[in-house]
Structure 1
């Protein structure tokens, strides 16, 4: 079993830990200290040794931060975690803050009207984040001071940094050997007049070198930094275990150094123009480079640019797309086996933990599951209103008649990363829930059917999924979709379907399509498929060529019992019936007899 149901939130420990932090703040002469939910690589998941925000506050969400002052400690969370944070922190000592509606700079200026020094760990803030915060504080008496991490001073049993084995991602699944990737990106650096690029994102490094690892839960990555040279050579800073086979795979042009050796490795360079990505490079790296630039005779220069791996990684090769199609068919069959079992269970007889355990068992039965791609979300009734709910022994509910169950999960397979959400009825469901479900479905279908001009970004499309909900004065507090890797991170940038998605969508990009609706204390709804951006064929009578569209990757029925059929338009019904035909054709032959009977019934026309 990959998923644990232990309750890692310890709100009872928060007050004493907060007092200890304030003690070392006072010793350091700091008016405040910032505790982000981040490691040096800005990953969504962090190793246990980097989970400082949860250790201090009890909040276990995947995004947020705490600003600790002498008299207040604000826990900043976005719309996904507004309900969750109230249950996980001691609100007598920690104050939840709605972010990004309330900006950290504005909050600090209001909370520290007389100014003061606020400390931060420069490994945990990117260049872009730090510069934005400094700009927001301009004109105030507040200054920022780089510091060692004060949490580490008071965390007596902090876990060690992971040092797990590195593995090889086969070339037939990646579509391109790493020597070719390195050569191509190195040539692009040379053409731009640059010598070396600093890579801080582990998934970029793993993609570039066709390697994988297990340093971070759910994400098959190796923690590390890298320098990509214009010649195509790479210096990799990691503590991962590297066996003889992996060493041979990396070859002589990949030079291995200890994880902690990055800054010393930069200092050894002479007459070099370094490219940094301000969105991912730790602030301490820029500070160190600026010191080198100021050193007489170093010849070191700094330029800014995107991580050179970011777009090539996002635009999957034909081999990667073929591989992820296969992974989704396998995963879809596992989910249908689960759904066949689920529909046979009477209300009041199973719990959320039973659901998660059974779904993981169905995935494991494929014989190909390497990990789950994130902790499965199985939120019933009011728990479904927590968009990123994680069931624990203390929160576990028995599914009751009238509940909606939001079930969101995925698998990590060698050939792909999967992610799918279905909302399921438990017994008899009310008309209000069915109407909201149908609006969510209409938004999901709208994105699935969309044909759009090349050059548009996710922010141009996000509203299309929300339109049916907006007509009813309803909405959801998360983006419509995120990028997805291929046996890499289930949340992958830079592509996204959201108001903040400013990167143009390109063929080969994989995104999720997951509108939802959440009513606090009552129920939640979300429907999700993964899509790959493809070139659209010109329609008969059309005269605008060069458009893009989406190919659906998941094939699992959408529960017809939750649909208000009178609300659907004819084109929406046609899309849903055609999709269910595909589910039956593609997944049916992969199922056991009982599940096949279930699928035939679940895919009847609407």
Structure 2
């Protein structure tokens, strides 16, 4: 069957809106777990619009339709959508609510209550616009060849990697509920169930999750709502007697049983359907953070050691790739796809490798300026000599999740002074954040400017956050912390892992981003009058010397870079073959 054109898809959706009693419809880029990474069956935004980015929203009205996305995707969304059908808007500069206020007044706008959190709906509510929950998603009705939902098995995550038994996690989370006077908490985020129950799965291509919902009760019992065929006997034994597996169809009855009781809902992480049903059932809603979210972000000692080990092994694959790329790139025969494929092949040789942690961002020249560029056979281009190549990639290992970006010069010529200036300023910002020491209580938004200062000094900036949290054999993007002006004020705590990835992008020319992962640890400051924190750099790979202008670095920055490269050589070099070790020795030589 031939897939319908974008115009036919939009027309098919509009035809179904009248039957649903609404004039418009909101299509978020999320599934019923409100996750960033979704299975093919939930790629509604991509099916409807053609835009494949990991963040965005579409609003369809009778006479116009708009796609909203953030600064990572402003170029990509215009490339992937038909301008005759879709307007493109920056979600920060022109929020969907403001657009609705201007164009949707006196219209009934439908939404799927499974795909929006309570707080997301509050942000969309504007006077004169009537938001209407629909019992069935009209996109699904129009999507004739929609894939079936995934049914990968849930498997135990060994204590040797998890570091803490599920019984202890459940007891601590349940105690938090009792302290708050709450009978239960809805866990709609499958990362929470995965962490709480020490299970993983294969429902998503790059994040090891078994998709499902859970109810955590104040007595530490858990009801796990997941297709029973996804939970084999071994996993049921692992879960124990206090965890009951039920089919998702039993969710309404389980919520009905909470009548008259106080139930915690995370307004940012729970579909509005749960709030609506619980209110109808007569439960009392208590708005509070998912009780697993913050504990999950603060890695225990075993998870920290696992992260260190995973990064050391990943560094071997990166060194092999960087050495190979340095030899091959000047020949001009590589492409974006072939380079990314070679990096994946090197990673597949690494012990405990399970998958990429996201599709590699492999962008040469002007493609590097598309912040979250995803190469396809149609866009794949040759990596030419004497240009910039950006490779942002990561891996899922049983003991940790990695994410690294390097900006490389293809050679054999010399990079232009302006390019080296930009790269070095990004590096200075990276170093400023990596070396920060700060009092307990400081949050990511407070530190974001450190990484931007060297660019700000000459009137430059980048349109994305400086860093995100990272899970432990879970999502490469993990809340609740982030280095971003737009992030919530959540104080950094010991054990959190975040990325440090400032950048600079010249549209149509090149992109620059330099990323390592950082582990939050206590700072040893003898004169401190209160607790201070600092960062340990986990990622181990050299920065490309061909793009660094040493004269722009202070003596302190230069000392940091030399010490970092010395550490890379000492920890990674012994694991390499002789030829790659020789290359690494030269790449890590003092400036």
Q: CA deviation at 1:265?
A: 1.7
1:174 to 148, 162, 185: 162
Paired with 2:174 and 2:99, the residues of 1 have a C-alpha distance of: 43
Describe the SS at the equivalent of 1:46: coil
Paired with 1:520 and 1:490, the residues of 2 have a C-alpha distance of: 26
Q: Which residue of 1 aligns with 2:149?
A: 161
Q: Which residue of 2 aligns with 1:69?
A: 61
1:144 to 120, 132, 156: 132
Q: Which residue of 1 aligns with 2:224?
A: 236
Give a deviation string over 1:243-299, Cα, whole Å, max 9, x none: 221111001100001123322221133442211111111111101111111xxxxxx
Q: Which residue of 2 aligns with 1:438?
A: 424
Paired with 1:280 and 1:139, the residues of 2 have a C-alpha distance of: 25
2:366 to 379, 382, 402: 382
Q: Which residue of 2 aligns with 1:522?
A: 509
* Residues 1:117 and 2:104 are matched in the alignment: no
Report which stretch shifted further, 489-498 or 362-371.
362-371
1:19 to 5, 8, 11: 11
* Residues 1:37 and 2:20 are matched in the alignment: no
Q: Which residue of 2 aligns with 1:192?
A: 180
Quick check: 2:34–2:270 contact (8 Å CA) kept in 1? no
Quick check: 1:11–1:89 contact (8 Å CA) kept in 2? no
Q: CA deviation at 1:112?
A: 2.7
Paired with 2:458 and 2:156, the residues of 1 have a C-alpha distance of: 50
Q: Which residue of 2 aligns with 1:468?
A: 454
Q: Which residue of 2 aligns with 1:348?
A: 332
Paired with 2:295 and 2:585, the residues of 1 have a C-alpha distance of: 40
Gaps of 5+ in 1: 1-9, 294-299
Paired with 1:268 and 1:194, the residues of 2 have a C-alpha distance of: 14
Equivalent residue runs for 1:191-340 within 5 Å = 191-239=179-227, 241-293=230-282, 300-340=283-323
Paired with 1:100 and 1:67, the residues of 2 have a C-alpha distance of: 15
Judged with a 3 Å threshold, the aligned counterparts in structure 2 of structure 1 residues 141 and 597 are, in CA distance, closer, same or farther, namely closer
Paired with 2:98 and 2:346, the residues of 1 have a C-alpha distance of: 48
Q: In the comparison of the two structures, how many residue pairs are matched? A: 585
Paired with 2:466 and 2:291, the residues of 1 have a C-alpha distance of: 26
Give a deviation string over 1:332-366, Cα, whole Å, max 9, x none: 11100111111111241111111111000000011
Judged with a 3 Å threshold, the aligned counterparts in structure 2 of structure 1 residues 351 and 30 are, in CA distance, closer, same or farther, namely same
Equivalent residue runs for 1:422-433 within 5 Å = 422-427=406-411, 428-433=414-419
Q: Which residue of 2 aligns with 1:496?
A: 482
Q: CA deviation at 1:143?
A: 4.0
Q: CA deviation at 1:11?
A: 11
Paired with 2:248 and 2:460, the residues of 1 have a C-alpha distance of: 48
Q: CA deviation at 1:12?
A: 8.1
Quick check: 1:12–1:90 contact (8 Å CA) kept in 2? no
Describe the SS at the equivalent of 2:521: strand
Describe the SS at the equivalent of 1:534: strand
Q: Which residue of 1 aligns with 2:98?
A: 106
Give a deviation string over 1:545-597, Cα, whole Å, max 9, x none: 41110000011001111001111100000000000000001111111111100
Give the superposed CA RMSD: 1.4
Quick check: 2:109–2:129 contact (8 Å CA) kept in 1? no
Relative to the length of structure 1, the TM-score reads: 0.95
Relative to the length of structure 2, the TM-score reads: 0.97
Give a deviation string over 1:57-104, Cα, whole Å, max 9, x none: 000000001000011110001100010011101111111111121111
Judged with a 3 Å threshold, the aligned counterparts in structure 2 of structure 1 residues 68 and 570 are, in CA distance, closer, same or farther, namely same
Q: Which residue of 2 aligns with 1:51?
A: 43
Report which stretch shifted further, 354-363 or 252-261.
252-261
Judged with a 3 Å threshold, the aligned counterparts in structure 2 of structure 1 residues 270 and 105 are, in CA distance, closer, same or farther, namely closer
* Residues 1:412 and 2:396 are matched in the alignment: yes
Quick check: 2:335–2:381 contact (8 Å CA) kept in 1? yes
Quick check: 2:520–2:533 contact (8 Å CA) kept in 1? yes
Q: Which residue of 1 aligns with 2:544?
A: 559
Paired with 2:132 and 2:236, the residues of 1 have a C-alpha distance of: 42
Q: Which residue of 2 aligns with 1:6?
A: none
Quick check: 1:332–1:554 contact (8 Å CA) kept in 2? yes
